[in-house]
A = this chain, B = another copy of it.
Amino acid sequence: MSSRWEEFYATHSTPDNFEENKRQIDDFCQHVNSEQKIVLITSGGTTVPLEHNTVRFVDNFSAGTRGSASAEWFLENGYIVIFIYRLKSLEPFVRHFMGQKFLDMLEIRKQSNVTSVQVKNENLNTVLPILEKYKAVKEANQLLSRSQHYFYIPSNEMPTHKMQSAEGPPTISLRLVPKMLEPLVNIWVPNAYVVSFKLETDESILVSKARGALSKYKHKMVALKMTRKTKVMLVFPNTSSEISLSCEEIENGIEIESKIVSQVIENHNLFIS
Residues of A within 8 A of B (CB): 50-51, 53-61, 63, 88, 91, 93-94, 97, 99-100, 102-103, 106, 108, 115-119, 124, 127-128, 131-132, 134-135, 145, 160-162, 164-165, 168-176, 199-202, 205
A103 touches B108 (CB 8 A): no
Given contacts A55-B60, A88-B63, contact A202 B161 (CB under 8 A): yes
Closest to A177 in B: B165
Contact between chains at A99 and B103 (CB < 8 Å) = no
The answer to whether B202 and A162 have CB atoms under 8 Å apart is yes
Q: Tell me the complex Cα distance, A131–B120, Å.
A: 14
16 more A-B contacts (CB under 8 A) besides A51-B201, A161-B200?
A55-B60, A59-B59, A102-B102, A103-B134, A106-B127, A115-B128, A116-B119, A117-B131, A118-B118, A160-B201, A162-B201, A168-B176, A169-B174, A169-B176, A171-B172, A172-B174
7 closest A-B pairs by beta carbon, nearest first, are A117-B119, A161-B202, A53-B201, A56-B60, A59-B59, A169-B174, A161-B201
Shortest Cβ distance from A56 into chain B, in angstroms?
4
A159 to chain B, nearest CB (A): 10
User: In the complex, what distance in Å separates the CA atom of A50 from the CA atom of B165?
Assistant: 19
A117 touching B115, Cβ below 8 Å: no
CA distance A169 to B178 in the complex (A): 11
